[in-house]
Amino acid sequence: MNFLIILSAVTMLLLLFLKVPVFISILGGSILYFVFNPGINQIVFAQHAITGAESISLLAVPFFVCAGTFMNYTGVTRRIMDFCSVITGRMTGGLAQVNVLLSTLMGGLSGSNLADAAMEAKMLVPEMEEKGFSKAFSTVVTATSSMITPLIPPGIAMILYGCIANVSIGKLFVSGVGVGFFLCVTMMMLVSWLSKRRGYAPLRTTRMTAKDYKKVVPPAIAPLCLPVIIIGGIRLGIFTATEAGAVAIIYAIILGFGYKDLKVKNLIIGLKETAATTASIMLIVASATVFSWVLTKERIPQQLTEWIVASIKSKYVFLMIVNVFLLLVGMFIEGNASMIVLVPLLAPIAAAYGIDEIHFAMMYIFNNAIGALSPPMGTLMFVTCSITGCKTKDFIKEAVPFYILLFFDLLMFTFVPVFTTGLVSLIY
């Protein structure tokens, strides 16, 4: 049977490398196990594929995707960007600082790093180039700052991880706040340092008047309250993480009609986009559930746990190996796909070493975020470059300081657990 497992895994990876759609790749590997294993009724294949997408917790995915889509049609992005300009206007780097802070704040509204990257590449990069920023630098800042989005609640990656590993989504949301803002601060420091060296000027050198603040700040307050409402409601037991998604949709619709920017036509378009995005995620979840069942039936996670724990005595060595492995995987495989396949294998091993489940989860999600930026298949890199017209080689060259920063942050999250668990311990 081990031969069948190897055959299934190799087939799946081969299909992924050939850029076959993720859910077909995973299903393709799983089907081989059932076809060449006469002792298993093939109806089990269909049963697990269906039940894999029926988890109540997964309802949070379409809810938050829908809320984020509606936010894009409410004029929220422009209001948040004006607010960011007020906060960072006098900082060295100007619009680059706005870019980073906007990604952080929009992470609490959209939950999708690709949507955030595409939106900022269209809105901010042309303005940054007009202010004297190079195309490559503007594109890199946009792509890198978009990594923060899945780390800020309600990131879809945290919802999926919580469902797969049976970890509290509410605690992951709280941890994501600390991790996301730490990444935001360190990235803004790097942007400031690079901007000083290159002579990128602030947006303004004078203080804003009270009239200017009154014009920009109040319109941004209501949207910025959404993450507070979500986390506060979950922590106080008013609603679950799944129900929080429904609350977010209602809140987005109220904002849209309150600002008079959301039309019935936009609602219909938003629902269509939500259905398409949710379908793609659920197909991956359903197919990966089958593959996870195959691994569990053959006791692969248990055997792997026993072997690794017996071979590696230090949990810190284990964490370093996992980091290197996930960084390599992230260069070739989409984050959600790798999460659904690898988390059932790695999470039990981390637990055997006594590693906090929230700590390991955020470390894993951050590795996935780096993978989305890494060549040769970094989705964030290709999305932003295709929109801005930046050459890939220029992007990679310009991104070197940011890669160094990301590796430093990864070490902090790996070996200083307070960054991932401190806020959770404080609130819970």
pLDDT, tens only, 160-201: 888 888 888 889 988 988 898 899 999 999 999 998 888 877
Tokens matching residue 43: 């109806």
CA-CA-CA-CA torsion sign (217, 219, 222, 228)? negative
Q: Where does the pLDDT of residue 410 fall: very low under 50, low under 70, confident under 90, or very high at 90 and above?
A: very high
Structure letter (DSSP) for residue 168: -
Q: What average pLDDT does this structure show over 381-402?
A: 87
* 141 pLDDT higher than 80: yes
pLDDT, tens only, 331-375: 767 677 778 778 888 888 898 889 999 999 999 999 988 887 887
CA-based nearest residue to 132, from 32, 199, 205, 85: 199
* 108 pLDDT higher than 70: no
pLDDT of residue 376: 67
* 1 pLDDT higher than 60: no
Compute the CA torsion angle 213, 214, 216, 218 (nearest 10 deg).
120
CA-based nearest residue to 158, from 238, 100, 237, 241: 241
pLDDT higher for 407 or 126?
Answer: 407
Measured distance CA(299)–CA(49) in Å, rounded: 19
pLDDT, tens only, 28-61: 878 888 878 777 777 777 777 777 777 776 777 7
Q: Where does the pLDDT of residue 110 fall: very low under 50, low under 70, confident under 90, or very high at 90 and above?
A: low
* 282 pLDDT higher than 90: no
Per-residue burial over 130-140, b = 16 or more CB atoms within 10 Å of its CB, e = otherwise: eeebebbbbbb
Tokens matching residue 135: 């195309």
Q: What is the pTM (predicted TM-score) of this model?
A: 0.78
